[in-house]
Amino acid sequence: MTDETSETVTAESDSGKVKAADVQVLSGNPTDEEIAALVAALSALASKAETESRKPRNLWAEPIDMLRYSPHSWQRVTLFERAKLARPQGTF
C-alpha cells in the first residue's frame, strides 16, 4: 500500500457542476491522456443514462401486456363451461 498513488479527477460540464465521477488511481502511473480518456468515457455513459431516464414510458409496448388476459376472455370461459370442456362432470 505504500507504492499506491492517489489522484482524484473530477469531470465538470459547461455549467460547472460535477457530472461524471471521481476517479481514484490506486496503483500505477497513468498518463494525462489515459485519465482524460477514462473521464470522457464515464461522462458519455452518464449523459446517456440521463437521456434514457428522461424518456416517457411507452405503456403501449410493455411486454407484460402479452401475459394479461384479454378483455373478452370471460366469453371463452363461458362457452367452455357450457360445452363442459373446462371440467369433467362431477368435479369442481
Instruction: Encode pLDDT of 18-39 as tens digits.
Output: 444 567 788 889 898 998 898 8
Say if CB 43 and CB 23 are below 8 A apart. no
* Residue 14 pLDDT exceeds 80: no
Name the 3-class secondary structure at 86: coil
The domain segmentation of the chain, as residue ranges, is: 8-54
**Cβ partners under 8 Å of residue 12, min gap 6:** 18, 19
Query: What are the pLDDT digits (tens) for 39-76?
Result: 888 888 877 766 666 667 666 766 766 666 666 666 66
Q: How confident is the model at residue 92 (pLDDT cuts 50, 70, 90)?
A: low
What pLDDT was estimated at residue 73? 66
